[in-house]
Amino acid sequence: MGEKLVNGGLFLLSILYTYFARGYSFGSPTAPKVGFLPQLVGYCAIVISGYLLVRSLMGKGDAQNVKLRCDYKRLGLLVLSMVVYILIFKPVGYLISTAALLYAAMKIGRVKGWKIPAAVSVLASVFFFLVFKVFLAVPLPAGLLF
């Protein structure tokens, strides 16, 4: 089941890409334009992903028996926490958001207790802040702190 979905998804992706690629002119072999390579790539991808999709639909796919042991709830929470991180990154600032993300990720990863996650979150955030912002002069947002 999973394989059919993934193959189907890739097939759709290829079609979508080719659709956009056709918006650029192809040119000709003597004078290729910006659409030249994208369209070639797109058509190839449609053919290959289509073939793989059909094979998996017919039951001959080579990843038929893969079972995902993924806990979708945790995955959802993890992705959600990353989205929140991205949203609060600039307004709240690097230190607080990163510490929060670290804490969240560790709890999702089943780290027991709160002392260790809290300590590691704070210390690691400070450490990276110093390395990236102070040492390497990357402008990390200060946000609410200063």
Partner 1 sequence: MLETFSALFDGFAVCFSLENIFACIAGVLVGTLTGVLPGIGVTGAMALLLPLTYGMDATPATILFAGIYYGAMYGGSTTSILVNLPGEAASVITCLDGNAMAKKGRAGAALSIAAIGSFIAGTIGLVGLTFFAPVLADAALKFGPPEYFAIAMLGLVLLTNLTGKNALKSFLMVLVGLMLSTIGVDSVSGISRLTFGIPSLMRGLEFGVVAMAVFGINDLFGTLVEPQEKKEIGHVTLRELYPTRDEMKRSVGPILRGTLIGFLIGLMPGPAGTLASFSSYSVEKKLSKHPEQFGQGAIEGVAGPESSNNAASSAAMVPLLSLGLPFAPPAAMLLTGFIVHGITPGPTLITQHPDVFWGLIASMYIGNVFLVIINLPFVGVWASMLRTPANILMPIVMVITMTGAFATNNSVTDMVVLLILGVFAYFVAKYGYSMAPLAVGIVLGSTIETGLTQGMIICEGSVWKMMTRPLSGTILWLALLLVAATLFKPVKKLLINSKDD
Partner 2 sequence: MWKKTLAMTLVLAMTAAAAAGCSSAGTASGDSSDYPSKEIEWLVPYTAGGSSDQMARLIAKYSKQYLGVDIIIENVGGGGGNVGLSQFVTDPSASDGYNITCFNTTANLQPIYGTCEYDWLEELEPLALCVSIPIAIAVPKDSPFNTIEDLIEYAKANPGDIQYGHAGIGSITNVAAEQFCLEAGIQMTAVPFGSGADALTAIMGSQIDVDVASLSEVLSYGETGELKLLALCTDTTIETMPEVPTLVSKGYNVDQKVTQGIATGKDTDAEMVAVLDEGLGKIINDENFIAELKDYGMDVDYMNAADFSTFLQEQREEFTQVVTDSGILEQVQAQTN
Out of 41, 84, 118, 122, the only residue in the binding site for partner 1 (CB under 8 A) is: 41
Q: What is the dihedral of CA 17, 49, 80, 119, to 10 degrees?
A: -110
Asked if 30 interacts with partner 1 (CB under 8 A), we say yes
Q: What, of partner 1, partner 2, none, does residue 123 touch, CB below 5 to 8 Å by kind?
A: partner 2
What is the bridge-based pairing of β-strands 31-32 and 27-28?
Answer: antiparallel
Out of 5, 12, 33, 44, the only residue in the binding site for partner 2 (CB under 8 A) is: 33
What residues form DSSP beta bridges with 102? none
Yes or no: say if 27 and 33 are a contact pair by the CB < 8 Å rule.
yes
Footprint on this chain of partner 2 (rule: CB under 8 A): 23-25, 33-35, 116, 119-120, 123-124, 126-127, 130-131, 134-135, 137
